[in-house]
């Protein structure tokens, strides 16, 4: 019981697995684990998942965990809850004929912005369908035995069409338990997540969405631009600059956006930048309105272009500023020159070095501009 009670103090997956080993040995199941230091049994993610599953399969361990008053607030209980719903390491007999497709948001690129739930699902996935903008560092988190399938799309070049992607998802769900559809950013923010979920449900496939950090917030942040600020903007609009090609007319009410929002964030807007800018100018935005373009937001090769509505198209053309890029339009862009000195840094899991931070002197210089 002491080992079960210690679950209430667990803060990491490795710590949980070490407790699991000790608990199972106490339960008289020591033959399932090699003799020696506990750490040797929990050195890899795969071995930890294997140990966790065996621990949960012990009925007495599960009962004691459920009876622990503070268990529902612990990371261990969250792992236990997921284990109850999906296979967690060890194969179990499927309860239905189809698996579950998880629409997982991979975030904008920096692997440090990937969610814990998304990482956990990648580690137990049987099949992973991934998009063009998913970083290699995130793909390396996937189950080594999983099948990885690229279904990325670029402008005018779709390696796999949308109907083909849906057909493959349905087919894999019939023969596998956990299918991860890994999408850049957030699946429900211009990521076709809603459309894919509708199609999968119509085909009788179980589906669940796992939100991700959207580039419309993260890319500006990594450029030192908050999308809202009490002194500059109390509203923000997210809009696509790349609508369906078969639409007879635009569905975006640009004049209403120009008049009704203090910050406008345009996804996939570089290809049609001239149309977007002219539409906003026609809608009433002044030529001196600040504009920022952020290319490869949150990636190591992030680039920025800061200009105005009047000049941004010419400057983007001159610099050959290409996709993937986000456009931020509004007075919050004025903060770029100050806050970009304190921008987040790329998360390098291969290095133990701490990220560089803005200095006290930099903050002192910034304060007068923010008052």
Q: 106 near 184, Cβ under 8 Å? A: yes
Cα-to-chain-centroid distance, residue 8: 28
Per DSSP, 270 falls in state: S
User: In sequence order, what are the residues at sequence separation of 6 or more whose Cβ sits closer than 8 angstroms to the Cβ of residue 168?
Assistant: 129, 149, 151, 160
Catalytic residue among 110, 126, 131, 186: 131
Measured CA to CA, the distance from residue 183 to residue 151 in angstroms comes to: 10
Q: Is 300 one of the annotated active-site residues of the chain?
A: no
Helices (H), the chain: 2-5, 13-26, 38-41, 45-57, 59-67, 75-85, 116-124, 136-139, 162-173, 193-202, 215-222, 254-260, 273-282, 312-319, 336-339, 360-370
Distance of alpha carbon 257 from alpha carbon 262, whole angstroms: 9
Q: What is the DSSP letter of 144?
A: T
Residue 247: strand, helix, or coil? coil
* Contact predicate 329/284, CB 8 Å: no
**By the 8 A CB rule, do 74 and 8 touch?**
yes
* N-term to C-term CA, the chain: 56
Residue 153 among the catalytic residues: yes
| 44 vs 46: CA distance, rounded Å | 5
Known catalytic membership, residue 268: yes
The pairs formed by 242-245 with CB atoms below 8 angstroms and a separation of 24 or more are: 242/155, 242/267, 242/268, 242/269, 242/271, 242/272
Q: Is 207 helix (H, G, I), strand (E, B) or coil?
A: strand
Catalytic-labelled residue, pool 126, 186, 197, 268: 268
Beta carbons within 8 Å of 279's beta carbon, 6+ residues apart = 252, 254, 255, 258
List the catalytic residue out of 153, 206, 310, 334.
153
Q: Are strands 263-267 and 325-330 parallel, antiparallel or unpaired?
A: antiparallel
Active site (catalytic) residues: 131, 153, 268
């Amino acid at each position: 019981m002491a080992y079960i009670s210690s679950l209430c103090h667990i803060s990491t997956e490795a710590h949980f697995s070490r407790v699991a080993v000790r608990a199972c040995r106490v339960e008289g199941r020591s033959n399932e684990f090699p003799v020696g230091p506990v750490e040797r049994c929990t050195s890899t993610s795969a071995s930890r998942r294997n140990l966790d599953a065996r621990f949960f399969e012990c009925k007495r361990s599960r009962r004691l965990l459920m009876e622990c008053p503070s268990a529902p607030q612990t990371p261990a209980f969250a792992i236990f809850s997921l284990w109850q719903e999906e296979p967690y390491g060890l194969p179990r007999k499927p309860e239905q004929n189809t698996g579950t497709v998880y629409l997982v948001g991979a975030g904008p690129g920096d692997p440090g912005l990937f969610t814990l739930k998304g990482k956990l699902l990648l580690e137990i996935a049987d099949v992973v369908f991934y998009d063009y903008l998913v970083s290699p560092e995130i793909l390396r988190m996937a189950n080594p035995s999983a099948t990885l399938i690229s279904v990325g799309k670029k402008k005018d070049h779709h390696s796999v069409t949308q109907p083909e992607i849906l057909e493959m998802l349905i087919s894999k769900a019939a023969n596998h338990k956990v299918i991860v559809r890994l999408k850049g950013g957030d699946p429900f923010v211009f990521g076709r997540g809603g459309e894919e979920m509708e199609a999968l449900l119509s085909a009788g496939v179980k589906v669940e969405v796992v939100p991700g950090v959207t580039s419309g917030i993260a890319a500006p942040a990594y450029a030192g631009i908050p999308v809202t600020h009490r002194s500059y903007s109390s509203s923000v609009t997210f809009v696509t600059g790349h609508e369906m090609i078969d639409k007879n007319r635009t569905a975006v009410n640009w004049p209403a956006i120009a008049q009704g929002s203090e910050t406008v964030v345009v996804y996939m807007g570089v290809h049609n930048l001239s149309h977007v800018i002219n539409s906003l100018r026609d809608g009433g935005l002044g030529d001196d309105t600040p504009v920022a373009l952020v290319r490869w937001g949150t990636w190591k090769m992030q680039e920025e272009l800061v200009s105005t509505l009047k000049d941004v198209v010419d400057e983007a053309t001159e610099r050959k500023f290409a996709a993937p890029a986000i456009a931020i339009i509004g007075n919050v862009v004025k903060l770029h020159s100050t806050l970009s000195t304190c921008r987040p840094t790329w998360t390098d899991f291969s290095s133990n070095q701490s990220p560089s931070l803005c200095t006290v002197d930099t903050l002192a210089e910034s304060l007068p501009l923010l008052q």
